Structure formats: structure tokens, C-alpha cells
Amino acid sequence: MAKYGRNFQSPQVKIESEDDVGEIEYNPAQLTYNDIVLLHLRKVNLVSVVEFRGGFYTTVTTKSGDEKQVYIPDTRDTYCNAVHQLALLLRPKFDEEMSKKWEKFKEKIKTLQQEFVDYTEMNESVILGEAYYDKPNEKVKLEEYKQKRLKLYLWLFGALALVIEAKSFSDSKGVNLIWGQLDESYDTEKWWELLRKSRQSSTKSLEKKDA
């Protein structure tokens, strides 16, 4: 069973609400590299426990009684962006095996993006916002791209979780920043083992596609 408190100082932060994880009070001078990783991992965890769906506009009523359109972001994009940032934070800690996985992941993302760009009639080298693709076939292709992209980032998060485990980021009192307040009987090693097994099928699936 994992033991807590391995020379780890809990970051001086105050989170008012899990519904608004962006509202965090802290003293930057007191944050360590580990603290920053743990805080961002907690954000990734929060944006992952939602329905993965596309973005859309909705009409809301303001306090003055007026109506205005508000865009609700695509939760798949939010998750992918959060995981990508986590990967950049952890990049200095990658070993040789993880570095190879990271390069392989980037190649797959680049290929996926290029396939979509080549398919559309837009003369652009990057993927634009959904509103630019008004043709039915392009909308379907964009949805397919986003679903495949999400699967790749889910796979990446599984790989990053093993990096975090290996570097003992979660073996501390600061673990409650991610998974909630844990008591002394919580077996973190068992939890990580279950996570590894759940990601193995995704890894094998990714390797089969390369064969």
C-alpha cells in the first residue's frame, strides 16, 4: 500500500468550487513543479467526467431580460487540450519508452489532421472552426476526425498516468488534489493497477492499426 508524505509539501491553494476549477487562489512563489502537475491533473480529471459531445449555441436570458446566444464549447476539444498541456508539463520526465510513444502520438495526430484538411475543399493548412464546414459530407468528416482525435488523447492520458505513477506524483498528501480526500486505507497501488489494465486494450488497438 502506498504511503503518503514523501518529502512533499501540499501547495498553498484554495479551490472554492469543483464546478469552477479555474477559480484557484494560490501563492505562485510556494508552488513546486509537482504542485503544478497535480493541479493540472485534477483539472483534467474534472473535464473528463462529463459527456463528450460537440459544441453548440444556445439562447440564454440575461438579468435584464434580454436574450443572447452563447456558445457551449465542445467537451472533446476541452479534454484534448487539457491532456495535451499535461503532456507538455510532463515532457521533461519522459523516459526513452515514453518519448517514443509521444513521438508516435504526434505523428498520428498530424496524419489525422492532414487527412481531414485534404478531404475538405477549404484551401487551408489547419482545421478551422465548425462553422466553416457547411457541407453535409464535411460535417460528417469533421465529426469523425474529432472522435478519432478523442480516442488518441484518451490513449495518451493512459500513458501519462503511468509516467505520473513512476515519478511518484500521486504518492503524497497532495493526492487529494486529484481524486479527493483519501483515508489511510485507500490502496493507491491497486487503483493504478486497474488503470493500467483498462488502458492496455487501447494500446494494443493502436498498435494493431499500425500493423
Say how many domains are in the chain: 1
DSSP assignment of 111-136 equals: HHHHHHHHHSS---SS---GGG--SH
- Calculate ∠ Cα 178-197-205, nearest 5°: 110
Does residue 5 sit within a domain?
Answer: no
Q: Is residue 1 assigned to a domain? A: no
Q: Is residue 35 part of a domain?
A: yes
Please write the tens of the pLDDT for every residue from 157-167: 999 988 887 76
Q: What is the pLDDT of residues 65-105, one digit of tens each?
A: 889 999 888 999 999 999 999 999 999 989 999 999 999 99
Establish if 62 belongs to a structural domain. yes
Q: Which domain holds residue 43?
A: 13-210
Q: Between these two residues, 22 and 154, which has the higher pLDDT value?
A: 154
Within-domain flag for 8: no
**Residue 171 in contact with residue 4, Cβ under 8 Å?**
yes
Q: How far apart are CA 127 and CA 107, in angstroms?
A: 16
Reduced to 3 states (helix: H, G, I; strand: E, B; else coil), residue 69 is: strand
What pLDDT, on the 0 to 100 scale, is given for residue 3? 32
pTM of the model as a whole = 0.67
The predicted-structure confidence for 21-46, as pLDDT tens digits, reads as follows 444 455 566 778 888 888 888 889 89
Q: Is residue 6 part of a domain?
A: no
